[in-house]
Structure 1
């Protein structure tokens, strides 16, 4: 088998496993909310640990990008990622749970930077776009993760046994796949951030990732709670499952669609799907409208982050590793800051009203994306 094919399969495994682990944690948030008897604001406080952890990891991840090939930080961080998932399941008090979430988020930050750096480097060895398919595998992993979680909930399997199974499975596959990852992707130039006036290229891409991540992270953390408390559905993981299914499907076909319509139009269409889906969920809080709405949001969110990472790889000023590290910060903060904000808004008003945050984020993608394409033509040549 050709080397680059082996590398693609191995990297695909990490995208997939990362999605499985994150979805496993996210799908169990309603269980944690009930177990610790948390209200929406208290749950928001707990979730707020994750963006704090991610921000603390910013200087550390930047150093790793410039010091090592991405495969070494990837395997080390994945070991801690799996251990953190195991610790979340076996936590018996808020303090231990908080420490576990901190480690989970910190490790996830390093993983996201490493796998996206590898994906940009690997795409350069192919004659076609492949980044969307990697993110599709992340979503597929999330879909499998939430599907398995649904079975665990349905058959009353305890959270600690559920998370233990996933942690062992993920770590085993990750260790096997490690040997085939790209070994020489450390950049020799563009590793130092130039301090001064904010780089518009990075800033606009970062904002796009942030806005998409607010919507995506919100669906991960609150779709189950929404289905349980607003839709009154006992199998509360169903909304999350539908969202993940359509996001995964869309990511697998997004590369081909973008080749036809172009990225500029793709951002507008994606944002329209997000805002339409969220509007339907808010205005019609019933089973079938919510299913359709979550489907539309999944389709809309799907292409934005893969497209933005692909654009980041076109930077003439910075290495792929450094720029991925920077815009990943925007993405992780968006994914992990959005859910706590929803918790606070839900506590002040109600969960339906809190979902307006996703509607606003989706709509803002349109002017920011168009501003990027209108002002960064020279940087992309």
Structure 2
């Protein structure tokens, strides 16, 4: 007790303010670290596009299956404890992705990754929604900007590690070791949230009413983000003959521009409204995909992926912010429908690539950006 009293209140407040951004960074790092090494893991196990699609499908299955569990954990233990438990699972799972000796074990590891990341995602977004409510102003876009700090850093680190020939196992193992301590410090720094009594409480339900519209927008947005994360590196390597060190830069550019856009996203929301910002962004994203797919050079294609990052940056922050106003159960329900896109998106791209080529398959991403624009333009609940 005396040690706690010795810590200045200002220091405790700063630690609490830093904890939530760090958790978003951690999720982004894990996400991008895997995405940056997909070509290496694919080559090591000699997977064709259809087989890689099945592997990615397992991650989506794990993510969607996680949301009822995430809602129960958040309601039963609180978002703080849920983030801690799911974070441990993430760090344990990462090295297993590289240790998988064949496709079957990689599918098991990917299911675990989807399960843990889904629970972690719901928990930290619930913490973010609570912090936004307490702040009485829009901060969700800024929090998701920290996620982009993680994805950008993870993609650049993955590019560097691939360039020097570091194995995925060493890469993922080092990541897990380095972030075990920050994860624990964040857990200790956050205030001990008190979950509501569980008697008679419904912890999960599929979205209904206007929440369905939010889920559909998130669904399409998840397909776009997931497809670019999982397939942009493969596209750069196979279609434009980029090296293992250069291929992850497409996703890095995508993540970088998402970061920049999310840093100003809350101000854009205040000046216009979420509906207009998401609609205009989705149109920009569609144009960016068009540029990326017709580009004859690596550098121009990277610019196209960067523009797509600008366009989809505000989808998740504003959809989750709107859903979070209805409570953690509504948030988990919208997240389930949203991340259904993560379930079917990358595998569908893979199966289409197997039949028609990756270039044609990624054209679907641009079409979905237009679908987001159309849906958002009519979603009054985003305002």
Residues 222-247 of structure 1 show CA distances to partners (whole Å, capped at 9, x for unaligned) of 11001111121112111111111111
User: Does the 8 Å CA contact 1:19/1:138 hold for their aligned counterparts?
Assistant: yes
Mapping for residues 79-118 of structure 1, pairs under 5 Å:
79-118=88-127
Name the stretch that deviates more: 74-83 or 278-287: 278-287
How does 1:1-381 map onto structure 2 within 5 Å?
A: 1=10, 5-184=14-193, 186-187=195-196, 191-192=201-202, 199-234=208-243, 235-315=246-326, 320-373=327-380, 376=381
* 4+ long deviations beyond 6 Å: 193-196
For residues 244-268 of structure 1, the C-alpha deviation after alignment (integer angstroms, 9 at most, x for no partner) is: 1111111111111221121121011
Structure 1: runs of 5 or more not aligned = none
Give the C-alpha shift of residue 284 in structure 1. 2.6
1:152-195 alpha-carbon deviations (Å, 9 max, x no partner):
11110111111100111122210111111232253569953797
Residues 257-266 or 115-124, more deviating: 257-266
CA contact (8 A) 1:8 1:122 kept: no
> What displacement does 1:370 show?
2.5
CA deviations over 1:197-222 (Å, ceiling 9, x no partner): x6222111111111111101111101
**For 2:177, what is the secondary structure of its paired residue?**
helix
Shift of 1:295: 1.0
- Superposition CA RMSD, Å: 2.1
Q: Distance in 2 between matches of 1:193 and 1:110?
A: 13
Whether contact under 8 Å (2:64, 2:118) holds in the other structure is no
- Judging changes above 3 Å, is the alpha-carbon distance between structure 1 residues 178 and 195 closer, same or farther for their aligned structure 2 residues? closer
Contact 2:28 2:154 in 1 (8 A): yes
* Residues 214, 224 of structure 1: alpha-carbon distance in 2 compared, 3 angstrom cutoff: same
Q: Do 1:211 and 1:362's aligned partners in 2 also have CA atoms closer than 8 Å? A: yes
The answer on whether the counterparts of 1:121 and 1:185 sit within 8 Å (CA) in structure 2 is no
Does structure 2 conserve the Cα–Cα contact (< 8 Å) formed by 1:53 and 1:105? yes
Find the aligned partners of 2:209 and 2:79 in 1 and give their Cα distance.
26
Residues 4, 122 of structure 1: 8 Å contact kept: no
Q: Measure the CA separation in 2 of the matches of 1:113 and 1:194.
A: 12
Following superposition, the deviation at residue 42 of structure 1 comes to 1.1
CA shift, 1:54, in A, is 2.2
Which 10-residue stretch deviates more, 131-140 or 180-189? 180-189
8 Å Cα contact 1:15/1:135 also seen in 2: yes
Q: CA deviation at 1:367?
A: 2.2
